[in-house]
Structure 1
Amino acid sequence: MDCASDNLASSSSSSSDTNPDTPRASSSSSSSFSAVHRALNFIQSHDSDLKLEGAREIRRLTKTSQRCRRQLAAAVKPLVQMLCDHSSESHHESALLALLNLAVKDEKNKISIVEAGALEPIINFLQSQNLNLQESATAALLTLSASTVNKPFISASGAIPLLVEILRHGSQQSKFDAVMALSNLSTHPDNLSIILETNPIPSIVNLLKFCKKSSKTAEKCSALIESLVAFDEGRIALTSEEGGVFAVVEVLENGSLQGREHAVGALLMMCQSDRCKYREPILREGVIPGLLELTVQGTPKSQTKAQTLLRLLRDSPQTRSDLQPDTLENIVCNIISQMDGDEQSGKAKKMLAEMVQVSMEQSLRHLQQRALVCTPTDIPIPSCASEVSSK
């Protein structure tokens, strides 16, 4: 598909390579400028074949070069026009992929693409029977949704229900891209209610169950769930979905640092909203070992959230009359005493012992370090001695 543009690139570089007196950096820069200029001429042509060649060349040039993305910003409008024209699917896909590469890591191009009217044809491609076109459209929305300016326009275009539909029935790659796009869109407050109305949690949970828990996909699924369980409908949907809470607990145990932070945040939000309603469903999924690990190894936010959730999960809130101090060990012991199942309880006890051991070792290392840096000059001289020495 890109062989013609590859031939163009090789022919443009061959002439400079044959001249030994031409500096390599200069010839490379000249070749790049020439390729950019040619691509712009092609894409602005009235000839359909030249437009297609121009789109393919732009896609190639902008794949890894930020400089080319800036130089080819003028190609946005003719490429969007290609999407709108009633031409072949190969024209549509090449133009869409070129726009996708132009938008990567370039905020101005992201905004320009939406302003040029790209959303309407992209929305149509989301419903295409051509899976390649559908995947490219989903990937384009993922990239465009990274711009804060674009988020309200994307939701207003009707993209959210279609992205959720892709999440249900699309290819594996388009599902990954759809959940990431929805996660991007969810950071705009007005979009959360629109996402909730599409009942996305069953599809998000299904994707979360089968993806690698440390993956970016699991991280985005957890982030989206954390946003959605801020609403009663989201909490009900997650607990009603078979394996829903357990999928979040798995991310809490095995996810990336950011994914674990979102997972514990989601569970904490549920328990804070209605402790009596959600304490048992969370405890039932064996969350304690993962929470214990987070209190030691998580991000600062994860550690705080994990400790707060542990306090909420114990049998009853502590009162001032309690004799035992409110230490993490006592909180966990209280929870373990209420747990069913020897395996879960045993694992929690083992984790607690390891946590205490780590805490003791850290304290010992700290004391040793203090002892090493303490020298005789650090010892304060009695006032009488200082008076004697000064006389």
Structure 2
Amino acid sequence: MSTRESSLKIGAVEALVKLLSEGSSRGKKDAVTTLFNFSTHSDSCKRMIEVGVMIALLVALGSEGVAEEAASALALLVRQPIGAEHVAKEEMEVTRLINMMRRGTPKVKENVVAALLELCRGSGALATQRVLRVPALASLLQTLLFTGTKRARRKAASLAWVCQRCEAAVTPMEAVGAAYRFPGNSMATFVYDVSMAPVSISVPVL
């Protein structure tokens, strides 16, 4: 890509970020849809992050009408190492993501837990420990395991396994289910009853 083409793309992303932050409802919808399309191209992610797209999308999670598309774009961006690294360094961004597991739509929750899983996978123990420090994590994961969409339940189960492996405090599987203890999350413990849950985690795919 030439310097001119690169500058034009950066300029376009900057304009979209501004539109997402300050535009009308229709403008925000168009902006987040275009940003989602840009997020599917790995060569665009670095430039998008450089001009502040991550914080704009995180703020958009709380905007009715664009939250689902914003969550989808975030999930794609966090799959890129640079995206995961960026979010992992910002505790407020991690907290904002986790809070959307409480009040987002089912689709938002699905994409948020997918983003958190990619974040922990992509940035390792440091990012996982930052996720674990959010007090509400255990209860939100438990709720999602039983009430989320099929994909959300699968991602939540995988995230629980990543967290328990990180903390090295796994309670062995028992006949009635598995207990997850998160020492970094106020010693929160929840029990995932495999016999009752609508998704199995006996063979997690990590």
Structure-1-length-normalised TM-score: 0.41
Q: Pick from 352, 356, 359: which aligns with 2:196?
A: 359
Greater relative contact order, per chain length (Cα 8 Å cut-off, separation 6+): 2
Q: Pick from 25, 38, 53: which aligns with 1:200?
A: 53
The reply on whether 1:304 has 2:150 as its aligned counterpart is: no
Residue 229 of structure 1: aligned partner: 78
The reply on whether 1:330 has 2:167 as its aligned counterpart is: no
Count matched residues.
187
Structural mapping, 1:46-85, within 5 Å: none
**Higher gyration radius (CA):** 1
Q: Confirm or deny: 8 A CA contact 2:84 2:118 kept in the other structure.
A: no
- Gaps in structure 2 of 5+ consecutive residues: 1-7, 199-206
Code of the residue aligned with 1:228 in structure 2: it is L
2:173 alignment partner, SS class: coil
Residue 145 of structure 2: aligned partner: 295
1:359 alignment partner, SS class: coil
Higher helix share: 1
Decide whether aligned partners of structure 1 residues 241 and 275 sit closer, same or farther in structure 2, where only a CA change above 3 A counts.
closer
Residue 150 of structure 1: aligned partner: none
Give me the whole-angstrom Cα distance separating, in 1, the residues matched to 2:49 and 2:35: 11
Q: Pick from 211, 236, 259: which aligns with 2:108?
A: 259
Give me the whole-angstrom Cα distance separating, in 1, the residues matched to 2:174 and 2:47: 42
Q: Confirm or deny: 8 A CA contact 1:257 1:299 kept in the other structure.
A: yes
Residue 168 of structure 2: aligned partner: 316
Percent of aligned positions with the same letter in both sequences? 22
Residue 26 of structure 1: aligned partner: none
Give me the whole-angstrom Cα distance separating, in 1, the residues matched to 2:169 and 2:139: 20
Q: Confirm or deny: 8 A CA contact 1:271 1:312 kept in the other structure.
A: yes
Decide whether aligned partners of structure 1 residues 327 and 197 sit closer, same or farther in structure 2, where only a CA change above 3 A counts.
farther
Higher strand share: 2
What does the per-residue CA deviation read over 1:105-162, in whole Å, with 9 as the maximum and x for residues that have no partner? xxxxxxxxxxxxxxxxxxxxxxxxxxxxxxxxxxxxxxxxxxxxxxxxxx86953232
Structure-2-length-normalised TM-score: 0.73
Q: Confirm or deny: 8 A CA contact 1:202 1:241 kept in the other structure.
A: no
Residue 380 of structure 1: aligned partner: none
Q: Confirm or deny: 8 A CA contact 2:177 2:195 kept in the other structure.
A: no
Shift of 1:311: 1.0
Cα RMSD after superposing both structures: 3.3
